[in-house]
Amino acid sequence: MIKPHGSDELNPLFVYDTAENEALQKEAEGLASILVSSAAAANAVMLGGGYFNPLTGYMNKADALSVATDMKTSSGLFWPTPVLNLVDDAGSIKAGDRIALKDPNVEGNPVVAIMNVDAVETLSADEKKLIADKVYAASADEAHPGVDAFNEQGNVVLSGAIQVLNFSYFQTEFPDTFRTAVEIRNEIAERGWKKVVAFQTRNPMHLAHEELCHMAMDRLGCDGLVIHMLLGKLKAGDIPAPVRDASIRKMVELYFPKNSAMVTGYGFDMLYAGPREAVLHALFRQNMGATHFIIGRDHAGVGDHYGAFDAQTIFKEQVPAGSLDIEIFNADHTAYSKKLDKVVMMSEAPDHNKEDFVLLSGTKVREMLGNGIAPPKEFSRPEVAQILMDYYKSIA
């Protein structure tokens, strides 16, 4: 199986030993505590599950700035986006302290992790702007949901190693879907898959997405597909995770051969960082055992902030050779061809005009679903469309 990033073995930070976990939870009751941001809690979940291997905790200021500028930590480890615990005010917390990190997303704010604080540092306004400019390719004063979320987290950097005690709300709210990198690696091994392609989604999968996965599997000769959906915080207007989960499961049940696809999810808040986030997505898919990863049009993008294929070119132009072992499957926009009566990559149909494809904007699709009208069968499977129509009807 493909090695994880940066080490021979996966090193998840979750405390699996029950007695040790209980002892740490007891210890946390007597520790100073701080309520972390949703983003920091999600980072803890990703660290706990092994997705952010080989990191041992939150980055310090020097590493965050180095990653933002050069995509590597101060020690030279390749990494595309800072992994931070940013707060507004650290209070009396100082280097050398052992503190409890409380979860903002679960009622009662239980402790999600215990942290050994290595440093308490402050990002200046210029340093925060630098990170926004480099990571999000967007100015700190520009309207961008990822930059807005980043700016809301505060300027004080708490860095240090952590021990993760639970997986926040992800394991309880999505017991059939949330999986750690450890669990996915184990299931890939159990299924005997050697070549595995991963597909990232934060949206329901329509026919073009489904066919793209079939194309990738066929062209790469893959044994299996891991559909890996984001379960964390999204921007306003995105379809909730339970609805996406239900629609994707129905699609796999009806339109994929048995035991050829795994439907899974991970606990992380979307960054909307376009190319940089695409590289992060590839990195943690390597950690979960995938050998290949699909990068499509405007991967991890938002609005018109990024070029259609910037998330593909970053791997050719900015990611140093050998930084990652996972291979990228570059995909063009896929759509149903009226001429060929099937879904194709638009770049592979040079004799087609725009009118030869079934093309619907996201706005148009949402409008149709909201009015109880199923998109054409060339765009969406009817069973998937029905689940989405039921959702829009419920919020009308």
Tokens describing residue 361: 């904007």
Q: Is 203 a catalytic residue?
A: yes
Q: What is the 3-state secondary structure (H, E, C) of 79-115?
A: CCCCCCCEECCCCCCCCCCEEEEECCCCCCCCEEEEE
Of 203, 249, 297, 330, the active-site residue reads: 203
Q: Is 179 a catalytic residue?
A: no
Residue type, 144: H
Provide the 3-class DSSP secondary structure of residue 212: helix
- CA 213 vs CA 224, 256, 297: distances in Å: 10, 10, 14
Of 202, 249, 297, 366, the active-site residue reads: 202
- CA 159 vs CA 58, 75, 329, 357: distances in Å: 5, 15, 35, 51
Give the length of the chain.
396
Nearest residue to 36 (alpha-carbon basis) of 96, 105, 136: 105
Tokens describing residue 383: 């069973």
Q: Which residues contact 111 (CB under 8 A, 6 or more apart)?
A: 25, 28, 33, 100, 101, 102, 103, 165
Residues with a known catalytic role: 202-203
